[in-house]
Amino acid sequence: MFHKSENLKYLLSLVPGKRRFGTYRFLPIFFCIGGVMEWIMINVRIGRETFCEKYGKTERQMKNRQ
- The pLDDT tens digits of the residues spanning 3-43 come to 778 888 898 889 899 899 988 999 999 999 999 999 988 88
Show the domain range for 38. Answer: 6-62
pLDDT over 70 (residue 1)? no
Structure confidence at residue 8 (pLDDT): 87
The answer to whether the predicted template modeling score (pTM) of the entire model surpasses 0.75 is no
Domains in the chain: how many in total? Answer: 1
Structure confidence at residue 26 (pLDDT): 92
**Mapping DSSP to helix (H, G, I), strand (E, B) and coil, where does residue 49 land?**
strand
To 5 degrees, how large is the angle CA 13–CA 17–CA 18? 55
**Mapping DSSP to helix (H, G, I), strand (E, B) and coil, where does residue 46 land?**
strand
43 domain-assigned: yes
1 domain-assigned: no
Structure confidence at residue 52 (pLDDT): 80
16 domain-assigned: yes
